[in-house]
Amino acid sequence: MKRLLAALACALVLTACSDDSSSTADPPTPTTSAPSDPTSSPTEEAESPEEFVRRWVDVDREMQNSGDTREYRRMTKGCEACKGVADQVDDIYRAGGYVKTDGLQVKKIRAGDADSNGEVEVQLDVESSPTEYVESAGGEIQKLPGGPVSYLLTLHQSTNSWLLVLLERLAA
């Protein structure tokens, strides 16, 4: 039971909701390249690491509140900690439980330069909202208080976006 609670606490700390006004990164906006000729169609520009992190934060919050882990798993293929979070959410909803959270407010995103492997390290500073959850149908309501949290994310470049391949919580 303690292992389950520890995994859930980790999962719930990762809930997500961005606050664009206090972040150092601009909010993501859909962008297209100008067509080279009138018959060509616009192509989507590559997503920046900051845009990816904001999208991941939103997907994470939605996953926790809905129990649908599919998009989260696509974005985090290869990330063992992320797999654990998604597995925990699946377990909770499969058992008839739920998670209610407003997620994280992004305070700051600092992305480094890509290395020779196409990977970028990103420091993410957030404020976690209070969270309520029930592990299974008829279970006791549990609460997490929220608070400031910092993470180090390793992103691997893919076609026009990124994959989150490593997630580490930084010491306070």
- Spell out the domains of the chain, with CATH numbers in brackets: 2-26+46-169 (3.10.450)
**Lookup: tokens for 46:** 């590559």
Q: What's the pLDDT tens digit per position in 116-158? A: 998 999 999 999 999 999 999 999 999 999 999 999 999 999 9
Q: What's the pLDDT tens digit per position in 11-58? A: 444 433 333 333 334 333 343 344 444 444 455 688 999 999 999 999
* pTM of the entire predicted model: 0.76
Note every long-range contact of 35-40, with CB atoms under 8 Å and residues 24 or more positions apart, other chains counting. none
Closest to 56 in 3D by CA, of 88, 111, 18: 18
Residue for token digits 């859930």? 8
pLDDT, position 159: 86
CA distances from 11 to 60, 92, 119 (A): 9, 11, 24
- Collapsed DSSP state (helix, strand, coil) of residue 154: strand
